[in-house]
Amino acid sequence: MTEIKKAFPKFDFTQGEVLLLNKPYKWTSFDVVGKIRNSFKPLKLKVGHAGTLDPLATGLLIICTGKLTKQIDIYQAEEKEYTGTFTLGATTPSYDLETEIDQTFDLSNLTEAQILENCEHFIGDLDQFPPAHSAIKVDGERLYLKARRGEEVALKTRKVTIKEFEITRLELPEVDFRVVCSKGTYIRSLAKDFGEKLNNGAYLSRLKRTRSGNFKIEDAFEIMELVNHIREIKREEDFK
């Protein structure tokens, strides 16, 4: 079967473009920004992302170029949608797969009804503790750097809103979910809290951002697909 290539619009990168990209697994958001920025060389162009994705997450990353980098805060503030998997019966210090399991729990007494009903406790306005292994700055330093040194930091709760939260597959120890939430919501923290509410444990084992505002993952480019296109049009006179 012949592969159908995605059609590219006529870009004006200097005036500003909003680029939708599918962030690969284990890439940082800064890795993606750097790859796009380097593809413009020798042209020096402002490039930034509108909302960090953890390295172990995949999915929609919004990249702004040129004059539209001034609107990054607007795009970053929009509602997000994620899909992913919680693994029940264990916890990790980072609340995901970045660190090793530190505690295990018995799942034999957990029922499907209990797990499904548990979702109701996490819909609405919540006070959420961010993970110690996060990019939040405390005293000018990222929290994950302090956590990796074994330093304990008194974390403060943040107000977040979860609009929708549903279980889409339940095959213990795995629980697949879909969540629609406000800016600043940590799905890793949601995993931890979800397990604790069940008097058990849970960590985030898979995460994909599927929507941000009106932007959807279905409309995103693969990184190298876009980079190669940029390199091609750089040779044209109307490249901006």
Known catalytic residues?
Answer: 54
Helical ranges in 47-111 per DSSP H: 72-76
SS3 state at 197: helix
Question: Tokens in use for 115?
Answer: 């797990």
Residue 8: closest CA among 212, 208, 231, 235: 231
Give CB contacts under 8 A, 24+ apart, made by 218-223.
219/20, 220/20, 220/21, 220/22, 220/59, 220/60, 220/61, 221/6, 221/19, 221/20, 221/21, 221/22, 222/21, 222/22, 223/21, 223/22, 223/23, 223/24, 223/27, 223/32, 223/35, 223/36
Residue 112: closest CA among 96, 88, 82, 95: 88
**Helix (H), strand (E) at residue 230:** helix 223-233
**Helix (H), strand (E) at residue 220:** none
d(CA 33, CA 65): 10
